[in-house]
Amino acid sequence: MDPDSVKSTLSNLAFGNVLAAAARDYKKELLTQEKANASSSFNEEVDLDELMDDPELEKLHADRIAALKKEAEKRQKLSMQGHGEYREITEADFLSEVTGTDKVICHFYHREFYRCKIMDKHLKTLSLRHFTTKFVKLDAENAPFFVSKLGIKTLPCVIMFRKGVATDRVVGFQDLGGKDDFSTRSLEILLLKKGIIEEKKRGEEDDDYLEGRNKTVRSSGNPDSDSD
């Protein structure tokens, strides 16, 4: 027999034994890993069961439920006071509306004024976002007494009330860049600075609300008026 042939055969047998041993070791390692994962999963389930019975977690859950219930009751109360919408009121209703809640924004407007319609659009959007503040509007022509008492000379005029006291106002568009195409966000920022509304989390606004995306209300009337 050729010595080289015998040597080659023995070498092949040895290599085959090595592969077989490696395959057995790999299979053994896989089984060990599977057992370890199964044990870990069991421990996680046990830990989860223990957490479900944790008195501190139960207290946190109860506190959260209580907070949500309190918030729902608050929203229901504010809703009964006229919050969450942009409503028209009359002069006879004015005092009860502005004194019946902590924060009120009242827009004195004229039905034919172009800029009053623009202000209407933005205030309606904000009324849906800022539930803790009441948003109303009052036809200046039908409210001569309060127009005189509040010294309103230019429309639109947005007056802010805190606990029934007029604390600030936005007259025309002079604080909004003086142009008709200001965004709802611009008005919102102005009202935030005046403290009559509170900042909301981002991500809640719609396309019409985003900066620069508001479309101007079209009208054939005069752009503005400097008198009641």
Beta bridge partners of residue 87, listed in sequence order: 136
| pLDDT surpassing 60 at residue 14 | no
What is the spatial distance between Cα 154 and Cα 224, in angstroms, rounded to a whole number?
A: 9
Q: How far is CA 34 from CA 24, 29, 37, in A?
A: 15, 9, 5
Q: Which of 7-16, 22-31, 178-187 has the lowest mean pLDDT?
A: 7-16
Given this model, what pLDDT does residue 147 score? 97
What is the spatial distance between Cα 102 and Cα 1, in angstroms, rounded to a whole number?
A: 109
Residues 84 and 134 sit within 8 Å (Cβ to Cβ) = no
Sequence spans of domains, the chain: 3-53, 84-193
Q: How confident is the model at residue 214 (pLDDT cuts 50, 70, 90)?
A: very low
Could you tell me which residues come within 8 angstroms of residue 82 by beta carbon, excluding any fewer than 6 positions away?
97, 100, 101, 134, 136
More confident residue, 132 or 218: 132
CATH fold group of domain 84-193: Glutaredoxin (3.40.30)
Residues 86 and 123 sit within 8 Å (Cβ to Cβ) = yes
Instruction: Render pLDDT for 179-206 as a digit per residue (tens, 0 to 9).
Output: 999 999 999 999 999 999 998 765 544 4
Mean pLDDT of 44-52: 57
What is the spatial distance between Cα 155 and Cα 227, in angstroms, rounded to a whole number?
A: 7
Tell me which residue of 208, 190, 211 sits closest to 128, measured CA to CA.
Answer: 208
Given this model, what pLDDT does residue 219 score? 40
Beta bridge partners of residue 103, listed in sequence order: 162
**Rounded to a whole number, what is the distance in angstroms from the first to the last CA of the chain?**
122
Mean pLDDT of 194-220: 57
Could you tell me which residues come within 8 angstroms of residue 124 by beta carbon, excluding any fewer than 6 positions away?
86, 135
